[in-house]
Structure 1
Amino acid sequence: MIKKYFKNIGPGTLVAAAFIGPGTVTICTLAGVNFGFNLLWAMLLSIIATIVLQEMAARLGIISQKGLSEVIREEIKIPFLKHFITLLILAAIVVGNASYEAGNISGGILGLETIFGEFNFVIGGLSINFMSLIIGVIAFVLLYIGNYKFIEKALVTLVLLMSFSFVITAVITQPNILEVLKGMFVPKFPEKSLLTVIGLIGTTVVPYNLFLHASLVKERWKNKEDVSLAKTDTIISIILGGMVSMAIIISAASIPSKDILNVADLAKGLAPLYGEFAKYFLALGLFAAGITSAITAPLAAAYVAQGCLGLKGNMQSKSFKMVWMIILLLGVIFSSIGIKPIEIIKFAQVANGMLLPIIAGILLWIMNKKNVLGTFVNTKTQNIFGFVILAISIFLGAKGIMKVFGLL
């Protein structure tokens, strides 16, 4: 059974690699530090919602043998609506991933610097972080090879390393199992926790992962009979990713100090309490989280750009490579010289806040179209879960946009 799973492991793990980036690690750290185990239920809810939506995206990719953006272009017949949604997808995912890429690389840098210290050099009065160049080169090499199976194996290895690192850290802190279970299954809203709950769900149920998953499964599987394999891969991989997020919350909950702003601070805080091992495991996990997201974000943007613009080709095509190269290059530049493109990130957050409910709604609509999926359309149960998640995504999207404009 285990051997069979590892043989078929793939796109689902890449999706888990994509949603456990430095942003997720940071929000999970803050959730644990500020609210203990009380918000573990929000992560459990996020895992269920992610499994439901990602399973739909994977099923669509295998049956149609098309990416989600391609199907949207074909199925929406009203020109104005088609152009608006296409522009929104491009803005949220291509521009968004370009602005978030610096954060992905910076997260990986924090992991390395926790172990090795800082390495900066000055050129013409400009201080450049050497670590960001290292991460950029690793990501470039993996993407440039352009072989899906090779990228898949590299990311699966990194995800397993990340999972091992964070889970071991959580075990080292010896949490109270009964309190952990209460936090998971008894929803609580401690004072000032609403934005953290929104953050936990928003960093797990990610719009670009729906596009990434639909595109990746058709690289891996070509037959309708493979839908069950994709479903198993999705469920196990996202549960594994969710365990990583929960492990970070559990680790952070054991720290008495509140002066922790990110996982690098957490690593330093754990060291005097649980020994240097905790610090190194956490730093290694953060490095893996940063580099996996630094690879999957440009990959998703390239798939989306191809689908939205109607470009043909695979991972080896010039247009595909051009998109991910631009996004990776921007990320390396912004992170290496310490620039934070705040206005672009705000714009991307607004676009993403609008995109998730729209795409969740469109996905539900498409998943009930027999001309696209035949007998693989949604069941009643899948639709009920889907509509509940759609309602949650509308709430999150509205809150996220209000937060950006300072209304919350």
Structure 2
Amino acid sequence: MRRVRTFDINHILNRGYQSTSYFKVKHFFNVWGPGLIVMLADTDAGCLITAAQWGYTMILPQILLIPVLYFAQEMTVRLGIVTKKGHGELIREYFGKKWAWISAGTLAISAIGALLTEFVGIAGVGEMFGISKWITIPIATVLLIAIAFSGSYRRVEKVGVMIGLAELAFLVVVVMVKPQLGDMVRGIGTIPWHNSSYIYLVAANVGAVIMPWMIFYQQGAVVDKNLGMESINKEKHDTFVGTLVTQGIMLTFVIAFAATMGLQHQQVALETVSDLASGLSAFIGSYPAKLFTGMSLLGGSLVAALVVALAGTWGVTEVLNWKHSLNEPLQKGSIGFYIIYCLAHIIGAILVLANINLVNLAVSVEVMNALLLPIVLGFLLILEAKVLPEKYRMHGDYRWLVTVLCMVVMGFGLYMVGPIMGIW
């Protein structure tokens, strides 16, 4: 009898341990996600192409951008979870409809511009493998629209994260090219501050590290995911890990191209997906270069298109005071949300397929992003100090550090208007 009782007790204890472990794992996945997916979306085709310039000298700026990116996105976590309201909704309530419309309007324009970049990236990957954009763009558009109708935010997030993790494929390239640690150390210590082109590229990286749609997305995501106060710290961890992942991916591109083309001082324009693959093909072979570059850029472009469209949709519908949740089924009350989301993808796809001259539009979007960044970050800092209860606000030296770094980013955003417009 005693042996049976001992077995029963151990069995119960083991079941209790397994049950506790199960719920811990389940809670982990229930909380984590918004920070990771928005950071994966930040590493899109345009950002990766930019990161491949200037070799090892771009390592230090990417590392320095890690805290800046985390500090800004961490504020959206506290604002969204504590208030249960999106960024556009808070602006409307505390600053009025006029400012809300300004923020929503510029966000919508910048979102369409960003979607164009992502669709061009998707088309570029297809054309690299001989597939026409008339095939890849419609398929991508249908896929992205279908994901939003999956029935819940959590499902959309899981699919988005799985797609975005394809960006990690480029790690294989870094292993294949075998970068030398000594070269990296020398590159970090060699910063060509006197070169205007390098300064411009650094400014572009700083000004673009916190894209306006990222703030709208993550705040809307933690609300749609219905995270409670007890989840704040875990969501901060999610955001921090996401920050490390996105900057890590950027660094893999920097290191891979510095260890290959950079060492031979090749002045090759890296402007398209094919340019990136061609630059690597001489060092790792044509097919591996195409495969791993294509996987990474396709994953980044798809997840960015998903996140950007949702951010723009949330921002606009919050200002309009419409229902704005992926948890809402398609019905009369939520049809506006889904229409805006679908139209964002359809308009972006049509513009890319129609071969419209997008130069003027691209310039306008860059100016809009540069101007919107100080507005969005300014609202973010004010809302953090004004809306949140004392317990959930920043305090002391941390508050000053975050404020100063955000002001620096806002300054770079404004600085970028000059070169883009040809003023200086």
- The two structures, once aligned, show a CA RMSD in angstroms of 2.2
Is there any run of 5+ residues in structure 1 with no aligned partner, and where?
A: 121-128
SS at match of 2:385: coil
Write the letter of the residue equivalent to 1:65: K
Write the letter of the residue equivalent to 1:266: L
* Alignment equivalent of 2:79, drawn from 55, 60, 82: 60
Question: Are 1:153 and 2:172 matched, yes or no?
Answer: no
TM superposition shift of 1:346: 2.7
The residue number in structure 1 matching 2:298 is 287
The residue number in structure 2 matching 1:119 is 132
Deviations 1:277-302, CA, capped at 9 Å, x for gaps: 23311111011111111111111110
The residue number in structure 1 matching 2:388 is 372
Deviations 1:232-270, CA, capped at 9 Å, x for gaps: 000001110110111111112121332232342121221
Larger Rg: 2
> Residues of 1 paired with 2:81 and 2:186: CA distance?
38
TM superposition shift of 1:184: 5.1
The residue number in structure 2 matching 1:172 is 176
The residue number in structure 2 matching 1:17 is 40
The residue number in structure 2 matching 1:308 is 319
TM superposition shift of 1:362: 2.1
Q: Show the 5 A alignment for 1:77-226.
A: 83=98, 85-114=99-128, 116-119=129-132, 129-163=134-168, 165-181=169-185, 183=187, 188-189=192-193, 191=195, 192-226=197-231
> Residues of 1 paired with 2:419 and 2:127: CA distance?
31
Is there any run of 5+ residues in structure 2 with no aligned partner, and where?
A: 1-20, 329-333
TM superposition shift of 1:352: 1.9
Deviations 1:3-55, CA, capped at 9 Å, x for gaps: 675564300112112211121112112x2xxx211121211222221100000
* Alignment equivalent of 1:26, drawn from 37, 40, 49: 49
* Alignment equivalent of 1:338, drawn from 342, 352, 355: 355
> Residues of 2 paired with 1:188 and 1:244: CA distance?
23
SS at match of 2:309: helix
User: Relative to 1, partners in 2 of residues 1:182 and 1:373: Cα closer, same or farther, differing over 3 Å?
Assistant: farther
User: Relative to 1, partners in 2 of residues 1:168 and 1:6: Cα closer, same or farther, differing over 3 Å?
Assistant: farther
> Residues of 1 paired with 2:78 and 2:186: CA distance?
34
> Residues of 1 paired with 2:182 and 2:401: CA distance?
28
SS at match of 1:338: coil
TM superposition shift of 1:182: 5.4
User: Mean alpha-carbon deviation: is it higher for 374-383 or for 300-309?
Assistant: 374-383
TM superposition shift of 1:404: 2.3
Q: Is the contact between residue 270 and residue 278 of structure 1 (CA under 8 Å) also seen in structure 2?
A: yes
Give the count of matched residue pairs.
388
* Alignment equivalent of 1:50, drawn from 55, 58, 69: 69
Question: Are 1:407 and 2:423 matched, yes or no?
Answer: yes
TM superposition shift of 1:86: 2.2
| Identity percentage of aligned residues | 22
User: Relative to 1, partners in 2 of residues 1:182 and 1:309: Cα closer, same or farther, differing over 3 Å?
Assistant: farther
Write the letter of the residue equivalent to 1:160: L
TM superposition shift of 1:313: 3.8
Q: Is the contact between residue 162 and residue 288 of structure 1 (CA under 8 Å) also seen in structure 2?
A: yes
- TM-score by structure 1 length? 0.88
> Residues of 2 paired with 1:388 and 1:27: CA distance?
26
> Residues of 2 paired with 1:361 and 1:203: CA distance?
15
